[in-house]
Amino acid sequence: MSFFRLLSLLTSLAPVILSLGLILGVYYYPFLQSRYRYFLLYMGICLVTDIASRFAGALMGNNLIFFVVFSLLELLFFSAFYRKFFFGRNRVKHVLLTAGAAVYILSEVYLLFQVTPEEFQMYSKTLSSFVILLMAIDFLFEILKKEQIDPALLKYNSVFIIYFSVSLIFFLPVNFLINVPESFKFYFWCVHLLLTILLYTFILIEIWKNGSKQKQLRRG
């Protein structure tokens, strides 16, 4: 299999996994615990922006705005997710970081319409990943002080640390990638796509495991 064939396959695989996750989530929704319903919402956000960006790219040849919008939605989602399930309360520093990052990302939406795609400097995904990573690391330090640790939360936090750390590293040079040869871009996006698909698959499996388990428990 050629590299470009592999990239095409990975590109098509992402919405399939997201759709399957949503179908499973809807089927098990009455049985899902709250955190897994949030996972379902995240998969919905990912699928909608994925499909919309594909249409925009095909029709207009430019889908940069969806990277910016998704960065904002992802930031807001994980900010709410960590507040509700990891910390159980608002933390001033997290609120300020999220608000500051959100304001900057919104400014990128405005700037996107003022310059050409080649001139546009996109830092939204880098900033979003950085803020989410800070929350994940903050939680990691917090649980190290506790005697009892929720294994599921520790697992999810570890996955998020890995994903957003790698994502941050990959998106730091994103402005350089706009003007590099197409072949180099393909290698970059292939690795990022693979990482993203692994995250989607992990969330899908977690939704399925919780839904099927809770369904069996309620039916005895």
pLDDT for position 205: 97
Give tens-digit pLDDT for 102-131.
999 999 888 877 766 666 667 888 899 999
Please provide the average confidence, as pLDDT, over all residues in the chain: 86
CA 211 to chain centre: 22
Q: Tell the CATH topology of 3-211.
A: Rhopdopsin 7-helix transmembrane proteins (1.20.1070)
Average pLDDT over residues 180-197: 74
Give tens-digit pLDDT for 166-179.
888 887 766 555 55
Taking phi over 0 as left and psi of -120 to 50 as alpha, with beta for the rest, 129 belongs to: alpha
Residue 201, burial from CB neighbour count under 10 angstroms (0-12, 13-18, 19+): middle
Domain locations along the chain: 3-211
Task: Show the tokens assigned to 130.
Answer: 């950085």
29 touches 213 (CB < 8 A): no
Give tens-digit pLDDT for 51-82.
999 888 778 777 788 889 999 999 999 999 99
Average pLDDT over residues 25-49: 96
pLDDT for position 121: 67
